[in-house]
Structure 1
Amino acid sequence: MQPEGILSGVTGNLGLLQRLLDKDREEYEILMEAKKAASRTRDLTLQLITFAKGGAPAKEAASIEVVVRDATTLSLRGANTKAEYQFAEDLLSVEIDTGQIGQVIQNFVINADQAMPDGGIVKISAKNIELSGEEPFLLEAGNYVKVSVEDEGAGIPENLLPNIFDPYFSTKPTGHGLGLSISHSIIKRHGGYIAVHSEVGVGTMFAFYLPASEEQAVAGAEREEEFPRGTGRILLMDDEEMIHRIVGRALGIFGYEVDSVQCGDEALQAYKASLEAGSPYDIVIMDLTIPGGMGGKEAVGKLHEIDPHARAIVSSGYAADPVMMKCADYGFAGKVAKPVDIEELAGTVKRVLEGGES
């Protein structure tokens, strides 16, 4: 079983328990702490995959303010630290992989929170900046967006700053240093620059520059407080039984009828049978890669030969794969990242059923 499959079992079951427990119960608070830890483990797993594979970011024009606010809210949930924001009113869009840049923000905000054990204020700002190309950090001339994350912690000694982005260096006794190293790698792959300024006894500020985009930011769906319910028949294609159980149980609770198969050949047979019976599946969720079998990339083409109107969602742990980056170009109406997040899954299914892309 792949790591993302194992983590899907953890995050998926915790997400379902969150829905089933009363918010006023003590167990709910314990569950939320466990879910928070699992979410950070999920994020670290995705970061490690990004770091190891060195894939190109799946970029789109986006609002850095939205990405910053979402990532910060997630990172500070349950913490004593509070965030203060300052965004330029005319802030330009940026061409980014929103998931990867969200990971960078989370890394910086979590570091800031840990630097202030008794709580405090983390100041986050973003502004437009025009570079001439003659700056010491050697970025090309042009328009950029500068994002800064500043804490009020103990600060980092000057002699340690040159090592701050090394993979196994950490200022914390139990730290691993991977978060900052991965952040450095992500920003570099985006054509940007990352820097740190720290003063002992005053605090630390991380700042990064991202190339501005001339395109308008892609409008994102608002996050719903409740899991989006719906109706319809779903066919799930995945080689891992854990995914069958988690996704089947979750979508069942949300109101869907779910059947599961192991590979592309079985999915095509099942869909053809449903079509002949006059009750075709409303959506087919396909794992991108099936070891020893037909994966989603090949299967979706054959699916559309059977039914040109069939709707499919691709699922994978490899965000940098071309199919995940441009899923519509390969015939998919949406995508879901692994490890599976129950809220993301439910939202994607509902949007695709309603005729939108996700």
Structure 2
Amino acid sequence: MKDQSGTNQELMQELSFLRQKLAQVEQSESRRKQTEEALQDSEARYRHLFEFINDAVLVHFIGEDGQPSRFVEVNNIACQRLGYTRKELLQLTPIDIAAPDKNSELPEIRKKLQSHGHTLLETVHLTKDGRRVPVESNIRLFNYNGQLAAMSISRDITIRKQMEEDLQRAHKLESLGVLAGGIAHDFNNLMMAVQGYMDLALLGLAPNNKVHKYLGSAQQCMAQAKELTGRLITFSMGGFPFRKSCDIAELVRDAVHRTIKGEDVKATFDFTDDLWPTEIDEQQMKQVFYNLTTNALEAMPQGGALTVRAGNVEIQGGDALPLKEGPYLRIIFVDEGIGIPEEHLAKVFDPYFTTKGMGAQKGMGLGLSVCYSVLKKHQGHITVDSRPGKETTLTLYLPAQVEQATAIDPQKSLSTGAVRVLIMDDEIHIREIERAYLEMLSYEVEDVKDGQEAIDAYKKALHSGTPFDLVILDLTVRHGLGGQLAMERLLKIDPEVIAIIASGYVDDPVIEHYGDYGFRGALKKPFNGEEMKNLVENILQRKNT
């Protein structure tokens, strides 16, 4: 039998042992709570990242056969972008949200995942309402609650794809521009000669003469050839428009009415009363409005309605448009035609892309390409949207001016008289035609074939006291001094020299920015007698005021 002290000692040891165990239990419980809190904190952070990341996150299991099963996790962005509720999206699989034309890529994706455990690719998601959303998807395999799963983080790359398509389109236009620029000069010189001789022949014929009628028809064909050349030149490198302030609303109405005349199409206009002014190349923009209206007519062979709206809009930095911030005019053409298939929307502005047959009334696929190029050179933009079978909407953006341009008073016609003009061109036919045009105005004309002869003739006339009132110089001379260098030397001889530059290279910087080179005006070949008369009289009128 143990004594009392021995019993107490055993009790103390037992108590100490229990205290140690209790301390261990408390520490274990504390660690468990800390672990739970850490897990909860981690879960909260994961959920926060999962929900608030700016990309769509979708998680789905992988079946034993390697096929994707239904989604088990989706974030808010995925729901918003695809247009589904979370409950609806969790009933779908990756195949359900893939664009049909992208389903063929799925076996290759599975193969890469099995080989590497992850893959990065570009594909297209389909929204609940059928819209296509290009995405860049980073897909990775992982273990989810003991099962093999895949997480896809998909970024919307719509804007990036638009920029890539714009760049590709610009490269195509540039390539076409090289071709157009190469043939333009000679072609325009030939048209200048043919048109000029027809003009002069018509002057010697009575209006009731059969030949007069034939030549008139030939002139109409020449005008169409000139228009086609102008459309091609629009693509060439440079090609900045000759801008001036104009009534854009009246320009649109006139172009639309002329185009639909005699057609079973009704045009409706809805323009804001206080449209901001804009500076445009009137001829180029007429072509744009003509092309858009012609497209609408061809989309409505049985007739229909064309609605044209125009208003003011401020472009902000966050807008998904390749435009600088600032004020713009927005002009919208909406037709009730057959529409454009979605797979063609990205190509409609490409040169020579067309879904039309090559019949007598069909173009060559340049219509919308011309519109795109003209808008770009005006620092504007054009977009297209379509609902096949219902309508097509084309939206134009043009930079607006803050203040209304000051109106210019009409100039009085210059009376003809003893005006001396020196013309220089290396083509004898063009010299002959220009001389005839000017002599019909009772001007005294002298012509030379290159820049050096022009300099010599100008100096001689200046020293003899019978200076030329006007000099017209051809920009490019095959074997001799061209118009630009000749002008530089003339300005050293006479800083007050009044000169016009002429060329078939209508997109050359000297033609587009003639004032920077000392010229008072520019003539784009081929030009007719009336165009030459108007410019010459305009310049001489300014000289005399």
How many angstroms does 1:280 deviate by?
Answer: 2.0
For 1:87 and 1:194, the matched residues in 2 are separated by: 18
- Cα distance change of structure 1 residues 125 and 89 upon mapping to structure 2, 3 Å threshold: same
State the match for 2:447 in structure 1.
Answer: 260
| SS, match of residue 400 in structure 2 | strand
After TM superposition, the score normalised by the length of structure 1 is 0.80
Highest relative contact order (Cα 8 Å, sep 6+), 1 or 2? Answer: 1
In the superposition, the TM-score normalised over structure 2's length comes to: 0.55
Structure 1 residues 131-280: aligned runs within 5 Å: 131-150=315-334, 155-174=339-358, 175-198=363-386, 204-214=392-402, 216-217=404-405, 230-231=416-417, 232-280=419-467
Does the 8 A contact of 1:101 with 1:186 survive in 2? yes
Counterpart Cα distance in 1 of 2:534 and 2:541: 11
Residue 155 of structure 1 and its aligned partner are, at CA, apart by 4.9
Closer, same or farther in 2 for the Cα pair 1:222/1:165, shift >3 Å? farther
Aligned to 1:80: 262
Superposed CA offset, 1:125-166 (max 9, x none): 532222334344343432111123455665545554332212
Seen in structure 2, the aligned counterparts of structure 1 residues 338 and 221 have a Cα distance that, compared at 3 Å, is farther
The whole-number CA distance in structure 2 between the counterparts of 1:69 and 1:222 is 23
Between Structure 1 and Structure 2, how many residues are aligned? 353
Distance 1:172 1:124 in 2: 24
Secondary structure of 1:290's aligned partner: coil
- Shift of the 108–78 alpha-carbon distance from structure 1 to 2, 3 Å rule, reads closer
Mean alpha-carbon deviation: is it higher for 103-112 or for 236-245?
Answer: 103-112
What secondary structure, in the 3-state scheme, does the structure 2 residue paired with 1:48 have? Answer: helix
Please say if residues 461 and 468 of structure 2, whose CA atoms lie closer than 8 Å, have aligned partners that are also in contact.
yes
Structure 1 residues 107 and 128, CA gap change in structure 2 (3 angstroms) = same
Q: Return closer, same or farther for 1:342/1:211 CA change in 2, 3 Å cut-off.
A: same
1:15-164 equivalence runs, <5 A: 15=199, 34-52=218-236, 54-55=237-238, 57-58=240-241, 60=243, 62-63=245-246, 65=248, 68=251, 72=255, 76=258, 80-81=262-263, 87-112=271-296, 124-150=308-334, 155-164=339-348
SS at match of 2:461: helix
State the secondary structure of the residue aligned to 1:90. coil
Say if 1:300 and 1:25 are closer, same or farther in 2 by CA, change over 3 A.
Answer: same
- The CA distance in 1 between the partners of 2:201 and 2:211, in whole Å, is 10
In structure 2, relative to structure 1, the CA distance for the partners of 1:96 and 1:2 (3 Å cut) is: same
How far is the alpha carbon of 1:350 from its aligned partner?
0.5
Which protein is bigger by CA-based radius of gyration? 2
Alpha-carbon distance between aligned partners in 1 of 2:446 and 2:501, rounded to the nearest angstrom: 16
Q: Which digits, 9 at most, give the CA deviation of each residue in 1:168-217, with x for residues without a partner?
A: 21233223112321321232233322123456676654331012123543
What is aligned with 2:66?
A: none
| 1:169 match: secondary structure | coil
Please name the residue that 1:316 is paired with. Answer: 503
> Which one-letter code corresponds to 2:312 in the other structure?
N
Could you tell me the percent identity over the aligned residues?
37
Deviation at 1:40, TM superposition (A): 3.2
Partners of 2:519 and 2:253 in 1: CA distance: 26
- Cα distance in 2 for residues equivalent to 1:18 and 1:220: 34
The equivalent of 1:283 in structure 2 is 470
- Runs (5+) with no aligned partner, structure 1: none
Letter in 1 for 2:262: N
Deviates more, 1:80-89 or 1:94-103: 80-89
Conserved? CA contact 2:252–2:286, under 8 Å: no
SS in 1 for 2:491: helix
Question: Does the CA-based 8 Å contact 1:65-1:87 persist in structure 2?
Answer: no
Query: Which amino acid in structure 1 is aligned with residue 226 of structure 2?
Result: R
1:163 alignment partner, SS class: coil
The separation in 2 between residues aligned to 1:218 and 1:118, in whole angstroms, is: 45
Give 1:116 deviation, angstroms. 6.5
The whole-number CA distance in structure 1 between the counterparts of 2:424 and 2:353 is 41
- Which residue number corresponds to residue 65 of structure 2? none
Cα distance between partner residues in 2 of 1:8 and 1:266: 23
**Residues 1:292 and 2:479 are matched in the alignment:** yes
Q: Give the C-alpha shift of residue 122 in structure 1.
A: 6.0
Would you say the 8 A contact 2:459–2:493 is kept in 1?
yes
- Cα distance in 2, alignment partners of residues 316 and 197 from structure 1: 39
Task: Tell me the CA shift for residue 352 of structure 1.
Answer: 1.0
- Any idea what SS the aligned residue of 2:346 has? helix
- Give structure 2 stretches of 5+ with no counterpart: 1-184
1:228–1:254 CA contact under 8 A, matched in 2: no
Amino acid at match of 2:245: A
Which residue type is aligned with residue 94 of structure 1?
T
Q: CA deviation at 1:318?
A: 3.5
**Aligned partners of 1:67 and 1:98 also within 8 Å:** no
CA distance in 2, matches of 1:221, 1:118: 46
Q: Is the 8 A contact 1:263 1:290 kept in 2?
A: yes
The structure-2 alpha-carbon separation of the partners of 1:123 and 1:161, relative to structure 1 and needing over 3 Å to count, comes to: same
Question: Which residue of the partner structure matches residue 3 of structure 1?
Answer: 187
2-structure distance, mates of 1:60, 1:146: 18
Shift of residue 251 of structure 1? 2.2
Q: Is the 8 A contact 2:291 2:368 kept in 1?
A: yes
Give the counterpart of 1:328 among 492, 511, 515: 515
Q: Is the 8 A contact 1:236 1:260 kept in 2?
A: yes
- Give, in whole Å, the separation in 2 of the partners of 1:324 and 1:351: 17
Structure with a larger share of its residues in helix = 2
**Secondary structure of the equivalent of 1:355?**
helix
One-letter code of the match for 1:184? Y
- RMSD of aligned Cα (Å): 3.9
Q: 1:68 to 1:207 in 2, by over 3 A?
A: farther
Determine the C-alpha separation between the residues in 2 that align with 1:233 and 1:18.
26
What is the distance in 1 between the residues matched to 2:495 and 2:314? 48
